[in-house]
Structure 1
């Protein structure tokens, strides 16, 4: 029979071990977990972080960045719109929160969050694919160049109303839409914008600069309530409906697998060469053709930073204004938010992090700080 004193000692040791395990498993919680800490839910992480997995980089789940820095609030002086960078979601409408509207969907998704959540987390540019379908305008993936029940996501007006609600609730924010436009019937796309209530925020084509000039100051765009910038891939609609033809104003690199070659950054076929400085805005795609959630983590981390450096050189030493990714929150840590902080740092003051931009800061200041 076990001696009572020995049994007490054994129980005490078991208690200590169990306490250590519990303490290790719940080293932080209730909103106290920092970037990189292990977590069990979003509630464990500090504000601006989410609890997500990334099997390529770590086991289990950790707190990683899930919200953007407000670049407009970093410096006192407002700069032209083309002197800022923005988190951009590829196929923003194709997300996991979108309910079925046609009874069946057999296509892939590109994002986890609804468009509203994307905007609330700091996404400021949305890529939307517009199609004529079922007598209306839908957001849809293409199969054979057309929208089908099994590739359709949502009526365009419902997503545009989410954008309108965000702009209404956030009067100092600007949202950009890139439309991959498959709508051929005249004026029906512009009518959707009218019906959604977005025309009161419309930035007019007549105010968009040509020949590489600066865009208006952000403070003036906000003061004039011209806070929605919309581009279409259909050239005719600039003249007929007042929707800006993207390639008159933006250069863009190759998207999908063809654009994911290390050390290379070439323009997509529709775009002018990336170093064409008659276009004031630079859009960089960084995503594979088929989105795999776990594999995206590495894409949105070190590879993204490397791609932005490569494209900076290819674009005539211009930093990107828009960075388009799949699963925008997935990364090994800082992700697309860290990348855009770098871009805004470079655009605003020549630093590698926008948080280094203070009044009077410059690339010289940043170099001195690095040497300390």
Structure 2
């Protein structure tokens, strides 16, 4: 999840207000991070990366240029192959075999037509981010998203992080509280487990943390087990090892 802006005649990663980037809020040129993604995909030919852009870039074809310059277009998963109306996505094995291992979503609708970058809200629902998304037992959609139980959108993103990141308190949030919220959002999303989970300081926890949360989600999605490591190899029917 990256925030992209026009800045200093290029595309930069930044977190700001009102669509403007400033020196004191700028992180760095987007191409630096995108080149890291290219290096990862090159070194790991069976891995898939999803990039979700909060997009403030207005320069014509600005995003297309920076992804091209970073060498990422050879991995691009085309919009034409993305499922409509909540249909199933291709198998991971097929995406790997076709080397279509980079999925990119933008928050600007027009860029799906003009640059071939998928419009996020056509394919995805997302819960409220920040403090308002951290109330135990409640999981509602953010303003831009359709209701979480809209099954015409095939992907589910769950946010679980404070509005102001605080490293000292995130250990508790990234542990049992996170797992509980994933269960709450499962019900709110029409009994669908999240495909993506966003947290702060992902390595910090009191227990398994975000890694255990990911193992839980993958287990539920792959075989119906509480942990992906409990899935019986080759099974998709809920066969779990003790």
CA distance in 2, matches of 1:345, 1:188: 38
TM-score when normalising by structure 1:
0.63
> 1:309 aligned to 177, 183, 192, which one?
183
The root-mean-square deviation of aligned C-alpha atoms, in Å, is: 1.2
1:268-323 deviation line (CA, Å, top 9, x unaligned): 11111111111111000000110011111111001000100000000000000000
Which residue of structure 2 lines up, in the alignment, with residue 232 of structure 1? 106
> 2:200 aligned to 313, 326, 335, which one?
326
C-alpha contact 1:345 1:351 (8 A) present in aligned 2 = yes
C-alpha contact 2:175 2:206 (8 A) present in aligned 1 = yes
CA distance in 1, matches of 2:155, 2:19: 28
> 1:280 aligned to 154, 168, 171, which one?
154
Query: Structure 1 residue 260 and structure 2 residue 147: aligned?
Result: no
C-alpha contact 1:304 1:339 (8 A) present in aligned 2 = yes
C-alpha contact 1:351 1:362 (8 A) present in aligned 2 = no
Which residue of structure 1 lines up, in the alignment, with residue 222 of structure 2? 348
TM-score when normalising by structure 2:
0.97
Farther off after superposition, 230-239 or 137-146: 137-146
Query: Structure 1 residue 140 and structure 2 residue 14: aligned?
Result: yes
CA displacement at 1:143 relative to structure 2: 3.6
Which residue of structure 2 lines up, in the alignment, with residue 131 of structure 1? 5
Query: Structure 1 residue 180 and structure 2 residue 54: aligned?
Result: yes
CA displacement at 1:144 relative to structure 2: 4.3
CA distance in 2, matches of 1:219, 1:175: 14
Indicate the structure (1 or 2) with the bigger Cα radius of gyration: 1
C-alpha contact 2:222 2:236 (8 A) present in aligned 1 = no
Matching of residues 99-248 of structure 1 within 5 Å: 127-248=1-122
Q: Which runs of 5+ in 2 are unaligned?
A: none
C-alpha contact 1:251 1:274 (8 A) present in aligned 2 = yes
